[in-house]
Structure 1
């Protein structure tokens, strides 16, 4: 199993760091509980969290740091509890998508709005620029962000053919988060809130016509069995963050804290690369392209890829500017509009309020 893991890491440039190097002095054992990805089978968990966070910190501290790692599913968590879990000290480190965590800290929702970032490079620049801003709000809750990272592009799976965004009018579409609801409502679709584990059966029974998730997440959940067409248009990136209990973090020895910081910087780099690789890989797996399918599972019943048109991309930007962004500011408040204009607008090219 370890040989297979190392091969997968190497295949995607996720080389294992020099784990034998000891970067902290001898001292008492440091126990860390970390609750990170939704499921233990996700590549973010198996290819990054396990080798770098769990095994890497142990090796680089010469055994001083012992990380007990678990996924949300293994702890029976939905994800929205992560900030409160870490704040209460039930875990020193946790991770969750910003859309899910924004119920506690609304500014987080502005980092990954639907239609904001058409490519992953822009998504990262926005996330990096917003991290110190988000931390000012999060530190009032006793937590702070150690790193942000993406999942694969959030794309649409449908159980009937479509050729453009215009074809989605009237369709029932499973969404999550306020900005996706705004986006698909603006297209004339009918957003439906359904938990990820229930989407397979909802597509199978026709409760929804389409559903949005990461290209690879849909592959892992076998959505090609219950849907026929997949869009290659990234609507958002399900950007997520690792957060740490601030009081615990501040008590760490400087050398230990520096090692934790270095580890999460490395994890962030690996995860942004994985997000880019896994986006195309997920589509290739879903459409049955065996040669391009190396991270996820190849679909037994290949789907049809629907390539975005220039008109689709223009409509996505229009909806972001005229519907999604104003909706975010309305929910979050005038301060959020000011922050958006100061930090994100210079990167996105779209200013709130014209």
Structure 2
């Protein structure tokens, strides 16, 4: 509680500084951006580019500073609440890590629902208006979104069948991935990015699920030797701004920044698309085996998670029509 109070006070100062910046032409509006990812991960690099573009487009009137690695004290799974409360004026978060505040954010991460970037864009065309409306109700505005690349499972030893998974302590993201691991006989350990390497070093976890981007950034080859391209879920990051800070900007400035987000978003998606192949090569260069999962293993994972879409709808009835439309559009109705 004390840490949160301190952070909220700091956020209030940042918002106040933003208000002063709009009132005095000579004083820029300064916003801190909370980023959970490491400084070299592509989402952080994207955020840095966005901040630079905003500064240039507003002639320095709005200046954003990116703080990577969760250094502002905002945990990845608390970001929606932190931005809405004004703890920080801006932040980036992964959708499924914030389902505790907004459950519909987990729809794209239903196991094996989405197969590729094209299907992910179809899902976004259906659900993004709902996401943006619900986040607006939580006092924040979405500036852009960008997905993570293909997901993998990483292990210390080769895995051939579902029986080999039993008892393995697997890093998970949220309730859905924890349930998936439980059904496969693994022991879920929910961890955010900064906590994974310490958990690997201490032996708290034996395996990790994540993209190649994070695996390279955190040098997983120092702990894990075998990676399987499971493509078991998709996850999108949101860059959001607190609405109290946002509305203090002149309307023309808000339009400039919003337009920048729209222009850069497709470019950020292209960066994401190139990440998988690039990072797989780096993992292999550092001694990690990267391959598709054995057919028996993949079949077991799919079977274990087959009912999770229906269960998501029972818990979130608004997702039902969205999933129905999505499956029709991708030919899996």
TM-score range, shorter chain: 0.7 to 0.9
Aligned length: 310
1:2-21 to 2 correspondence within 5 Å?
Answer: none
User: What is the CA–CA distance in structure 1 between the aligned matches of 2:99 and 2:148, rounded to whole Å?
Assistant: 17
- Aligned partner (choices 207, 210, 224) of residue 207 of structure 2: 210
SS in 2 for 1:287: helix
- Aligned partner (choices 315, 329, 334) of residue 317 of structure 2: 334
Give CA deviations for 1:228-249 in whole Å, capped at 9, x if unaligned. 1001222223311112223443
Say if 1:127 and 1:148, in contact at 8 Å, map to a contact too: no
Say if 1:48 and 1:270, in contact at 8 Å, map to a contact too: no
Q: 1:173 to 1:88 in 2, by over 3 A?
A: closer
Partner of 1:303: 288
Q: CA deviation at 1:68?
A: 2.8
Q: 1:209 to 1:269 in 2, by over 3 A?
A: same
Point out the more displaced range, 228-237 or 242-251: 242-251
TM-score (norm 1): 0.77
1:69-80 to 2 correspondence within 5 Å?
Answer: 69-71=66-68, 73-80=70-77
Q: CA deviation at 1:319?
A: 4.6
Say if 1:116 and 1:348, in contact at 8 Å, map to a contact too: no
User: What is the CA–CA distance in structure 2 between the aligned matches of 1:63 and 1:248, rounded to whole Å?
Assistant: 17
Q: CA deviation at 1:137?
A: 1.8
1:54-73 to 2 correspondence within 5 Å?
Answer: 54-71=51-68, 73=70
Partner of 1:138: 135
Say if 1:150 and 1:238, in contact at 8 Å, map to a contact too: yes
Structure 1 gaps of 5+ residues are: 1-25, 289-298
Q: CA deviation at 1:207?
A: 4.0
Q: 1:102 to 1:274 in 2, by over 3 A?
A: same
Q: 1:29 to 1:255 in 2, by over 3 A?
A: farther
User: What is the CA–CA distance in structure 1 between the aligned matches of 2:331 and 2:245, rounded to whole Å?
Assistant: 39
TM-score (norm 2): 0.81
User: What is the CA–CA distance in structure 1 between the aligned matches of 2:317 and 2:123, rounded to whole Å?
Assistant: 19
Q: 1:187 to 1:238 in 2, by over 3 A?
A: same
Structure 2 gaps of 5+ residues are: 1-23
Q: 1:213 to 1:63 in 2, by over 3 A?
A: same
1:203-282 to 2 correspondence within 5 Å?
Answer: 203-204=200-201, 206-282=203-279
User: What is the CA–CA distance in structure 2 between the aligned matches of 1:222 and 1:256, rounded to whole Å?
Assistant: 40
User: What is the CA–CA distance in structure 2 between the aligned matches of 1:68 and 1:110, rounded to whole Å?
Assistant: 31
SS in 1 for 2:51: helix
1:161 aligns with 2:158: yes
Say if 1:232 and 1:283, in contact at 8 Å, map to a contact too: no
RMSD of Structure 2 on Structure 1 (CA): 2.8
Say if 2:126 and 2:322, in contact at 8 Å, map to a contact too: no
Say if 2:69 and 2:194, in contact at 8 Å, map to a contact too: no
Q: CA deviation at 1:74?
A: 1.7
Partner of 1:89: 86
